[in-house]
Each structure stands twice: as structure tokens, then as C-alpha cells.
Amino acid sequence: DVSNKLDEQKEECISQLKENEMLRTKLQQLNYQHALSEQQYEQKLKQKSLELQIADLKTKQHEEKSLQEQSQMKLYAEQVSQLLATEKNLRLQLTADGEKFQQFQDALLKSNEVFETFKQEIEKMAKSIKELKKENLFLKSKCEKTDVTLIELVDERERLKKQLEKTKNQKEKLESLCRSLQAERKQNSTGSNNSDSVPS
């Protein structure tokens, strides 16, 4: 009877040892899985942090570019204003030259003695008017090109605003996703701690 009881106790001890070994193995596996999960969460958080930094950098670049475009637009506007003022002065000068030309014609009818002198003045004035007309056409062409450039700059500014808004929305989504991941990680960490406390 004693021998049988000893054999039974021995078998029971061996069974308990096997069960303890199996539980120890499961615990190690759970610890490994938990560490692996922690590592994966850390990698995801690092990745999201890098994505947020990239988004911030792009946003700053777009803002700087937008400021540069606004400064350039202001400069173009000033140049256009100067060109318009120059054109106005040229028109006034052309009107004055036309009046002088008429005066020269009237003076030619009155006197034959100064005909040659007036003729030379008329030729000079005609040359001057021709040059002024060429300059006026050049200024008009330059003004039109400046208007086109301003329209293009306005369109580019609107496009950059939309792109900046889109980038801000992406940033907010990434931040929301990062907060969700952190909350999920905290929840999983709390669940893991509760499950670890049960076997002990």
C-alpha cells in the first residue's frame, strides 16, 4: 500500500511538473508575443511620427512659397502701376507733340522764309512721334504680359492654398490616427497586465 501510494504521489508530482513546464512555456510565449507587439507598436508610432514631420515640413515649404509668391505679386503690381503712369505721361506727351505739330503747320503757311527750318523741325517731330509710338506699343505689350503673369500668379496662389488645406487635413488625420493607436496601445497594455496577473 505504501509503495502504491508513493507511486501515485510520484506520478502526480511528475504530472504537476509537466503541467508547470507547460504553463512556463505558455507564459514565455505570451511574454514574447507581448514584447513583439510592443515593438511593432513602437515602430508604427515612429513611422507615424516621421510622416507627421514630413507633413509639417511640406506645410512650411508651401507657406514659405506662398509668402514669396505674394511678395512677387506685390512687386509686379507696383511695376504695372509704374508702367501705367509712364503710358499716361507718354499719351500726354503725344498730345502735346500733336499740338506742336499743328502749330508748325500753321507757321509754315504764314512764312516761306522759315520753311526749311520748320520742315526740319517737322521731320524731327515725326521721328520722335514714331519712336514714342514704338515705345508705347512696347509698353502696352509689356503691360499685357504683366497682366497674364499676375493672373497666373493668382491661379498658382489659389492652387497652393488648396494644396496647403489638403496637407493640413492630412496632418489632422495622421494626428487622429496616432492618438487612436496610442489609445489602443494603452488599452492592450492594460489588458495584457490583467491577463498576466491571473496565472500568478
Q: Which domain holds residue 45?
A: 9-180
Residues 6+ apart with CB under 8 A from 110: none
Residue 1: its pLDDT value, please?
Answer: 66
Residue 60, in any domain of the structure = yes
Q: Is residue 60 classed as helix, strand or coil in its secondary structure? A: helix
Residue 200: its pLDDT value, please?
Answer: 42
Instruction: Name the DSSP letter for residue 35.
Output: H
pLDDT, averaged per 10 consecutive residues of the chain (200 residues), comes to 76 85 89 88 90 91 90 89 90 88 76 70 85 85 82 87 90 89 84 56
Residue 13, in any domain of the structure = yes
Residue 193, in any domain of the structure = no
Whole-model pTM: value is 0.29
Residue 121: its pLDDT value, please?
Answer: 81
Alpha-helical runs (H) found in the chain: 2-110, 115-197
Chain-centre distance for alpha carbon 23? 57
Angle at which helices 2-110 and 115-197 pack, to 10 degrees?
Answer: 170
Place of cell 500733336: 98
C-alpha to C-alpha distance for 119 and 113, rounded to whole angstroms:
11
C-alpha to C-alpha distance for 200 and 196, rounded to whole angstroms:
7
Instruction: Name the DSSP letter for residue 111.
Output: -
Residue 3, in any domain of the structure = no
Residue 200, in any domain of the structure = no
Residue 60: its pLDDT value, please?
Answer: 92
Residue 188, in any domain of the structure = no
Three cell numbers written together for 198: 491571473
C-alpha to C-alpha distance for 31 and 36, rounded to whole angstroms:
9
The total of structural domains in the chain comes to: 1
Residue 67, in any domain of the structure = yes
Residue 170, in any domain of the structure = yes
| Torsion-angle region of 73 (φ positive above 0: left; ψ -120 to 50: alpha; else: beta) | alpha
